[in-house]
Amino acid sequence: MPRTVRGISLFMGPDNLGAEDDLESAIIGFIGAARSTLDVAVQELESRPIARALIAAKKQGIKVRLVLEGDYLGVDHARAEPFEKGGKNEENRSIHAALLRANIAVRSDYNGSIFHQKFIVRDIEKGNSAVLTGSTNFTPTGVHKNLNHLIIVDGKKAAREFATEFAEIWDGSFGTSRLRHDPKPRNLRVAGIRVKVLFAPDHAPEMEIMKQMLKAKERIDFAIFTFSQSSGIDDVMLVLIKAGIQVRGALDKGQGGRPWAPTKMLNAVGGNLKLVKKGGGLNKLHHKLMIIDRQLVIGGSFNYTGPANRLNDENIVILGDLDETRPESIATQKQFASYALAEIDRIIANHT
């Protein structure tokens, strides 16, 4: 079961790989609860059950709009017989066609880099407003074979932040080609704790993550798909390790084992970074997740790389505040942090 406290839910999955939660069911349930609108911004839609949930919502009178990464709808080379189906990304194209036949408005992105968002805004003008985001792609692999998380925040406060971003995306303003720039990120309060949302590239999430890390007094735990030495986050980790802060992380072996990854460098100075291997149904560690001092959680779509910070369309969500002084709020923060930390413990114990 997800960790839920008064309007915020944190999911760790997938359950078929030993995690707590069924990610696909969570996404479908979120869609099924819509009363008026669904705005979906996701890199890839390859899950038929999720696509069918969107089509069902449309049939019930829900206004549904989607933006998808265009690279998953095209082909690498022109075919001799273009009407012949099959090949790479064919399921994406088939689902795309089905959505159009259901009269759902679908656009593909104009970002020359990666449209890497993974969020749904629900019922922005109704009392049922909420946003779903996280690291999970809407694909069979994303919900069943990769280690991922989801965050659902109820209420208009967070939903409006994502609705504003979706409006820019829908208008074709992507990456470094944005027509306008987002305002300064706001500190919202949901379930008695701070919720802060940042979007790349305008908000430079890397700097926010570094700022939060520098507040650490005891430890940093993380699980990340890809992490490059060019990110700047590794430099902060290096400083913190030398200052006696415990830094422990799980990285996907396919990325964390590369020469440009900081794994060896940080381990050489006392870090504790482990590589997650394929096997037993597991394809990738795909999280973008950090816990600081057992009480602050950073999640979302953002990998720790330079391009993610400068070029891609991304988001991060921060649950909590390390400067919080209210006991009840600190206790709520720790509930989310302990849930995420338990999953990192499980990943390191079972998959490295």
**Omega before 14 cis (within 30°)?**
yes
Confidence of residue 308 (pLDDT cuts 50, 70, 90): confident
Burial (CB count <10 Å: 0-12, 13-18, 19+), residue 242? exposed
Q: What angle do CA 120, 344, 277 make, to 5 degrees?
A: 95
Task: Please give the mean pLDDT across all residues of the chain.
Answer: 91
Inter-residue contact 286 to 141 (CB < 8 Å): no
What pLDDT is attached to residue 295?
A: 97
User: How far is it, in rounded angstroms, from Cα 46 to Cα 91?
Assistant: 6
| pLDDT on residue 235 | 94
CA distance 77 to 99: 24
Q: Residue 227: left (phi > 0), alpha (psi -120 to 50), or beta?
A: beta
Measuring CA to CA, how many Å separate 95 from each of 48, 92, 109, 136?
7, 5, 17, 18
User: What pLDDT does residue 111 have?
Assistant: 66
pLDDT digits (tens, 9 = 90+) for 77-91: 676 666 777 777 788
Q: pLDDT category, 127, cuts 50, 70, 90?
A: confident
Q: Coil, strand or helix: which one is 81?
A: coil
pLDDT in tens, 263-283: 999 999 999 999 999 999 999
Set out the domains of the chain in order of their start, with CATH numbers.
3-174+187-351 (3.30.870.10)
Give tens-digit pLDDT for 186-216.
889 999 999 999 998 888 899 999 999 999 9
Contact between residue 164 and residue 27 where contact means Cβ atoms under 8 Å apart: no
DSSP string for 90-130: HHHHHHHHHHHHTT-EEEE---SS-B--EEEEE-TTSTT-E
Question: 10: part of which helix (H) or strand (E)?
Answer: strand 8-13
Report which of 2, 223, 28 is spatially closest to residue 120, judged by C-alpha positions.
28
Give the mean pLDDT of 217-238: 92
